[in-house]
Structure 1
């Protein structure tokens, strides 16, 4: 991973975008020596979002399994005689 200061990032923004897009490089931008943001390619972002969705789904499944009183929308509609 490449680390650059905010000043360097500002001066070389187009180059950093190209490196992230075409070389799949991950660029960490620091302000006052502390990491604050990153530039990543779109494919990396898609993988991160898919991973985040998978974690959310796993947590939901776990919550459903642990909650004996869990009721789905389908169950509520069926009890009320509502057709979807």
Structure 2
């Protein structure tokens, strides 16, 4: 894991961006990690995965809520038929 102070990163940004292609480079201030340089493709995948995980959690929460309220889900075939999508 690479850690670089923000001050040092100013002078070495191009090199740090190249290093970030293989692993994140953490930027520090007062010995605390405050930011990171990551490869753009890695960031895109992480954001896509985070969105997918948020959707999965929301679906699970909705299912838990339906069970807690004793609600009966409407079958997808019935919804499609009611909307004229069959």
TM-score scaled to structure 1, two decimals?
0.71
Q: Are positions 1:15 and 2:19 aligned together?
A: no
Q: Whole-Å Cα distance in 2 between the matches of residues 6 and 26 of structure 1?
A: 14
The superposition leaves residues 51-77 of structure 1 with CA deviations (integer Å, 9 ceiling, x where unpaired) of 21121011111122022378xxxx7xx
The superposition leaves residues 7-54 of structure 1 with CA deviations (integer Å, 9 ceiling, x where unpaired) of 111110111112223xx2210010011110000001210221122112
Partner of 1:38: helix, strand, or coil? strand
Runs of 4+ that moved beyond 3 A? none
Task: Tell me the C-alpha RMSD between the 2 structures.
Answer: 2.4
TM-score scaled to structure 2, two decimals?
0.69
Give the number of aligned pairs.
Answer: 73
